[in-house]
Structure formats: structure tokens, C-alpha cells
Amino acid sequence: MSTVAETQIKLTPEHDAHPGASVRSRLQDLLPKIVLAPSFAATIVFVYGFILWTIYLSFTNSKTFPSYDITGARAYQRLWRWTFESDPPSSWYTSITNMGIFGFLYILICLALGLFLAILLDQKIRGEGVLRPIYLYPMALSFIVTGVAWKWFLDPGLGLEQTLHQWGWTSFHFDWIKNKDFVIYTVVIAGVWQASGFIMAMFLAGLRGIDGEIMKAAQIDGATTFQLYRRIVIPLLRPVFLSAFIVLAHLAIKSYDLVVALTSGGPGGSAWLPSNFMYEFTFKRNEMAVGSASAVIMLMTITAIIVPYLYSELREKSR
């Protein structure tokens, strides 16, 4: 692709032949940069500038209002102490443990289910055009709507439990959404429901992109279906796995609305994720410095995942 850019540059010097029109042509040369500048400036200020601002705040003792006297890493020390305060669990301990459980299960189940559905749908299915949008539509809904729907569905007195009782299965018991030890798993269920169809679509596109000749060759060599998928298809889908992982990881760390709408934070804040912790401490509990510090930790976690990915992607492309 870099060759394209070089030819572009070689094209422009024709303006230099007419020095009379130089102001105009200089402007023409600068125009692309002028067009890009506002967006880039906005990114610098409102993304990177604001991140620095948040980092700064995390080193102050800001409470309800921002204060700009640096008072050291007290907020981080408190978070560090809370990290090990498991009995009774501190809000921070609950948030990060939940993040671990939710992140792990959400990503794993979405990948597994997405791949499984994609493979099933790739078996020359009649009605694929009907099934695909059915699997995919939850992605169009807001987390708030998803939360409202699943809250109703999982409510022991109204939803699934009640329905099965009416059908005669009276010993069925499912109250995870009201149970502080299990409420995070209901967030996993709703989250998987929402995102797995999209992951399916990504894998399906990947499967359709695989060269048919490779498959045929393997079949001629006598590979069984299972071997074919395990040894050939799934390794070929590695780039899709990576893209899907990135999408899911950043959705997982950003999940805030789902917890709010589905569980209202759960009994005693037992469903909190770090994003909920940040919001509550910053805007409700007047602990702005602690809230900022937790935001910085979230950002660092995402950065550790994203930056290597972006680096390898962009380097590959510019080659």
C-alpha cells in the first residue's frame, strides 16, 4: 500500500511549475491536513488529554469536586488494600473478582457458541437466511433493553421458575438473580445472549473465506469431519479468533449498563464490575480520586490487550 502513497506525492509537484498560483496550490496541498486536523485535534484533547486529566485526578484527594493538589498515590493504596479484603469483600474486591468471572466465561462461551453455531450454519442449511438474523438481532438491542427482558425472564416469581412450576415441575428452583453469590452468572447469560450471534457472524464469514481446495484435499486424504475441523478449519480461523477476542474483551471491560439494568448492581453491590465501581464511587459516593484511579486501572488493562494487537495489525498492513 505504501506504493500508492509514493505515487501520490510524485503527482503533486506539477503545481510548482506555476509559481503565480502558489498560494492557491499551497492551500490545495495543505487541504487534506486541514480537513483531518479537527478530528485529530479532538482526539488528542478529548481522548489523550482527558486521560491525562483523569490520571492527574487519581493522584489528588478529590471528593465531591475535583481538587488539583497532588496528594500522592493514596487512592491507589486504598484500591490495593481493598484488592485483598475478601472477608467481608470490599466493593473493589467484588468488582474485580466479578470482572474475572464475567470476562472469562463471557469470552469463552461466546467464542465456543459462536464457532459452534457458525459450523452448524455452514452445513448447507436451508433457511440460513432466516436463522442468521434471529441469532444476530440481540446485538441491535441496548443493554438496558436486554437487561429489562432478562430481569423479567429470570425473576423467580414471574419468569422461568414460575412457568415451569405451572407446567408441573414444582421442584425447579432458579433464583440466581436474587442470590449475591450467583447474580454475576445471570449477567454472563444475558451478555452471551446478546453478543454470541455477532461472534457467530464473524466466524461464518471466516468459514466462507476458507479455500475449498484445502478442504477437498483433506477429505481425499481420508480426514473425518471432526479431524477436518480440528486440524484444518479451526487453525485457519485464527485471525477471526483474535478479532472476536478483541471485540469481546473490550465489550466485557466496558459492560456497565447491563449490570445496572439487569441487577441494579445486585444485592449489596454483589454484581458490580469495575465500570460500576467507578461510576458509583465518582458520582454517588463522592470519592472522585478513587473513582479516577479505578478508571486508570481499567484503561491500563485494556491498553495491555489492545496495543499489541493494533501494533501487529498496523505493521502488517503497512508492509
Partner 1 sequence: MSAITSPARQASSGMHARTINRVIIYGLLALFAIFYLMPLFVMLVTSFKTMDEIQNGNMLSLPHAPTFAPWVKAWSEVCSGLTCVGMKGYFWNSIKMVVPAVLISTLLGALNGYVLTKWRFRGHTLVFAMMLFACFIPFQSVLLPMATILGSLGRFGVTLQNATGFNFGLGNSTVNLVFVHVVYGLGFTTLFFRNYYEAFPTELIKAAQVDGASFFQIFRRIMLPNSLPIIVVTVIYQFTNIWNDFLFASAYAGSGDVMPMTVALNNVVNTSTGVVEYNVNMAAAMIAALPTLIVYVVAGRYFVRGLMAGAVKG
Binders of partner 1 among residues 114 to 133 (CB under 8 A) are 117, 120-125, 131-133
Select the residue interacting with partner 1 from 72, 209, 235, 308 (CB under 8 A). Answer: 209
Residue for grid cell 484435499: 217
In the complex with partner 1, the residue whose CB is nearer, 81 or 216, is: 216
236 binds partner 1 per the rule CB under 8 A: no
Burial class (CB in 10 A: 0-12, 13-18, 19+), 192: buried
The nearer residue to partner 1, 101 or 149, going by C-beta atoms, is: 149
Q: Per DSSP, what are the bridge partners of residue 89?
A: 86
**What amino acid is encoded at 192 in this protein?**
V
The conformation of residue 113, written as its DSSP 8-state character, comes to H
Q: Note the residue count of the chain.
A: 319
The single-letter DSSP state of residue 45 is I
C-beta of 101 vs 246, nearer to partner 1: 246
We find the least distance from the C-beta atom of residue 121 to partner 1, in angstroms, to be 7
Q: Which is nearer to partner 1, 32 or 181 (CB)?
A: 32
Q: Does 275 bind partner 1 (CB under 8 A)?
A: yes
Residues between 300 and 319 that touch partner 1 (CB under 8 A): 302, 306-307, 310, 313-314, 316-318
Distance, in Å, from the CA atom of 75 to the CA atom of 73, rounded to the nearest integer, reads: 6
- Would you count residue 234 as binding partner 1 (CB under 8 A)? no
* Residue 11 in the binding site for partner 1 (CB under 8 A): yes
80: contact with partner 1 by CB under 8 A: no
Q: Assess contact for 260 and 280: CB atoms under 8 A.
A: no
Q: Does 61 bind partner 1 (CB under 8 A)?
A: no
Maximum CA extent, the chain? 91
Contacting residue, 21, 70, 158, 217, with partner 1 by CB under 8 A? 158
Per the listing, cell 477437498 goes with: 216
Across the chain, how many H-helices and E-strands are there?
Answer: 16, 0
188, 189, 203: which is closest to 116 by C-alpha?
203
Residues between 81 and 110 that touch partner 1 (CB under 8 A): none
Residue 101 vs 210, nearer CB to partner 1:
210
Task: Report the candidate in 64, 83, 85, 62 with the shortest Cα–Cα distance to residue 74.
Answer: 62
- Select from 66, 100, 235, 268 the one that contacts partner 1 (CB under 8 A): 66
- 245 Cβ neighbours under 8 A, 6+ residues apart: 107, 111
Q: Minimum CB separation from partner 1 for residue 298, in Å? A: 5
Among 166, 168, 221, 284, the residue binding partner 1 under the rule CB under 8 A is 166
What is the spatial distance between Cα 282 and Cα 137, in angstroms, rounded to a whole number?
A: 34
The footprint of partner 1 on this chain (CB under 8 A) covers a number of residues equal to 116
List the interface residues with partner 1, window 38-57 (CB under 8 A).
Answer: 38-40, 42-44, 46-51, 53-54, 57
Of the candidates 103, 191, 269, 291, which one interacts with partner 1 according to CB under 8 A?
291
Instruction: Find cell 469483600 and name the residue.
Output: 89
